[in-house]
């Protein structure tokens, strides 16, 4: 009966992903966090799927990127996901967890490993490159890197998991907008409800 508790916004999102799947960028969205100076930060990241049987959203990142520091400081984020063909927007607000190699939770480390092997060999290589955001010291120091396909996640690989607690859906073709929120049931599972709001 797990399907019955699937949030209604997730069905809308899966449908939007399908409708827009001919566009490579349909799996890209913008992730906003809060910087160390208290200002907003915003960048494009890639959707890596939902956690199995849940509404949690996976994102891969480099532990050396600014966003990991930011999330350690303020663990909240908002995704803005605009689908350019169907004119639908999802704003997904929630708490974000980071899973790096120092994590003590075995189940989480397994998720991280799974995410590593689900990413392409080419995208794995970028975690062996120089620290993102730091000045390019010298072009010639870039070494040829190689990774065995069977090698597990490298130290710089980090899995981010966003646990949504509020979703704002806007359809610019039908001019409809819905606000999704949840309450917790007695067994601790989320019961999502929604309200139609003015666009």
Give the integer Cα–Cα distance in Å for 111 and 52.
10
Closest CA to 31 of 84, 76, 89, 65: 76
The residue (of 139 and 150) whose beta carbon lies closer to its own copies is 139
- Residue 79 beta carbon to its own copies: minimum distance, rounded to whole angstroms: 7
Q: Using CB under 8 A, which of the segments 5-13, 35-43, 113-121, 147-155 binds its own copies?
A: 35-43
The bridge status of strand 76-83 relative to strand 88-99 is: antiparallel
Give the integer Cα–Cα distance in Å for 78 and 94.
7
Q: Using CB under 8 A, which of the segments 46-54, 104-112, 130-138, 152-160 binds its own copies?
A: 130-138
Residue 40 engages its own copies in binding (rule: CB under 8 A): yes
Q: Using CB under 8 A, which of the segments 13-21, 98-106, 107-115, 134-142 binds its own copies?
A: 134-142
Closest CA to 55 of 172, 191, 176: 191
| 73-92 footprint of its own copies as x/- string (CB under 8 A) | -x-xxxxx-x-x----x-x-
Question: How is residue 142 written in tokens?
Answer: 């870039």
């Amino acid at each position: 009966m797990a399907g019955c508790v699937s949030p209604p916004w997730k069905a809308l999102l899966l449908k939007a992903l399908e409708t827009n799947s001919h566009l490579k960028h349909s799996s890209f969205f913008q992730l906003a966090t809060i910087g160390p100076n208290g200002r907003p930060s915003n960048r494009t990241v890639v959707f890596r799927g939902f956690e199995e049987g849940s509404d949690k959203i996976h994102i891969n990142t480099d532990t050396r990127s600014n966003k990991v520091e930011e999330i350690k400081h303020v663990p909240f984020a908002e995704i803005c996901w605009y689908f350019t063909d169907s004119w639908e927007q999802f704003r997904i607000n929630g708490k974000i967890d980071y899973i790096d190699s120092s994590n003590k939770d075995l189940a989480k480390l397994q998720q991280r490993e799974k995410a590593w092997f689900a990413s392409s060999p080419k995208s794995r290589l970028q975690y062996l490159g120089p620290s993102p955001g730091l000045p390019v010291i010298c072009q010639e120091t870039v070494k040829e890197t190689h990774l065995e396909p069977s090698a597990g996640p490298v130290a710089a690989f980090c899995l981010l998991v966003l646990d949504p607690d509020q979703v704002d859906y806007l359809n610019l073709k039908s001019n409809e907008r819905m606000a999704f929120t949840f309450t917790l049931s007695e067994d601790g599972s989320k019961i999502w409800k929604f309200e139609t709001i003015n666009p």
